[in-house]
Amino acid sequence: MLGAICFGSHANAYNALLCLPVTTLLWCLLVFGASIVQDRNLSEYDPSSSSSSKNVSCSHPLCKSRSSCKSLKDPCPYIADYSTEDTSSSGYLVDDILHLASFSKHAPQSSVQSSVIIGCGRKQTGSYLDGAAPDGVMGLGLGDVSVPSLLAKAGLIQNSFSICFDENDSGSVFFGDQGPATQQSTSFLPIGEKYDAYFVGVESYCIGNSCLTQSGFQALVDSGASFTFLPTEIYAEVVVKFDKLVSSKRISLQGNSWKYCYNASSEEMLKVPDMRLIFSKNQSFVVRNHIFSFPENEGFTVFCLTVMSTDGDYGIIGQNFMMGHRIVFDRENLKLAWSHSK
């Protein structure tokens, strides 16, 4: 397995450019904060400070915007549009070296280098102007230019990767990880006839000891979404059932996106109902982080259900539901897998 460390020959250089490995996927993105993989501080990338950086020309097979080029020798432009609040990034593609550490039970740790394509953002809009993803985003989707796609094509890894998030908004990415034999799994769903994104089919949503009837829905597994979103009808059933099972007093918090918040005693906190997602073949996904809590007065805690509604016809399984799990995106076998992990 390979764990990402840094880009280029001068990985700590600062510059006004925002660079990100790009993907044809709009949502399948892992947002990198200031210190997440092996406690390395990531910073804005400056191609001019990297001796291994080179422009990707418009003649390159992975240049998808060739029609915008005046000459095939020009740098290849890109634009990545996202569904959130008119958010986008545009600029030019460069080729550079991704430095990784190789992990194996049967061999000592070693260093591995691989060529990857990076989008150097010259113009950002929407959430990026408000401080979102200050170090860029890592494309982990099924597109040809995403990091796992390039690593697998180079023969460095199995076509798979795993993600673990912890409670401190940190985590790890392991490229090539296909997970333990004991893990549970469910198949990815095609969109039309193509597998363009990490969609799965949830057969039922369970709260406490019972599962809601007719609560199946399709969901995008999105490591770039902080929280989980449900289709409107499913959301309405979930929150009503959850509210009935909670013995604490419901309260209203101003400026809070979460609609179901409670003031609970220590004893009541122990009785917050669990949640599970049931996939095909009775594969059970135990949700370990569906509430956000913070101390209020002495002996009491305020907690909120961190599930929200979306107007779309599919849901989004975000980072909060992934916590406590080793989430495997097995692209080779087109399945999502999970097992309990710290």
The neighbouring-strand residues paired with 204 are 278
Give pLDDT tens digits for 288-310.
999 998 877 777 899 999 999 99
| Mean pLDDT of all residues belonging to the chain | 84
Q: Is residue 316 part of a domain?
A: yes
- Co-location of 209 and 62 in the same domain: no
* CA distance between the termini of the chain: 18
- Co-location of 140 and 189 in the same domain: no
What's the pLDDT at 45? 77
Give pLDDT tens digits for 158-187.
999 999 988 777 888 999 999 999 999 999
Q: How many CB atoms lie within 10 A of CB 219?
A: 24
What's the pLDDT at 291? 94
- Co-location of 7 and 128 in the same domain: yes
CB 302 within 8 A of CB 251: yes
Q: How many CB atoms lie within 10 A of CB 218?
A: 15
Q: Is residue 233 part of a domain?
A: yes
The tally of domains found in the chain comes to 2
Q: Is residue 192 part of a domain?
A: yes
| CATH number, position 101 | 2.40.70.10
Q: Is residue 228 part of a domain?
A: yes
For the chain, percent of residues with pLDDT exceeding 70:
87
What's the pLDDT at 43? 62
Give pLDDT tens digits for 262-285.
999 988 998 999 999 999 999 999
Q: Is residue 172 part of a domain?
A: no
- Co-location of 94 and 206 in the same domain: no
Q: Which domain holds residue 76?
A: 2-26+33-157
- Co-location of 237 and 319 in the same domain: yes
Position 198 confidence tier, pLDDT thresholds 50, 70, 90: very high
Number of helices (H), then strands (E), belonging to the chain: the values are 4, 27
Residue 275 neighbours by CB under 8 Å, 6+ apart: 205, 206, 207, 286, 287, 290
Side-chain-facing half-sphere of 241: CA atoms under 13 Å: 19
Q: Is residue 332 part of a domain?
A: yes
Position 105 confidence tier, pLDDT thresholds 50, 70, 90: confident
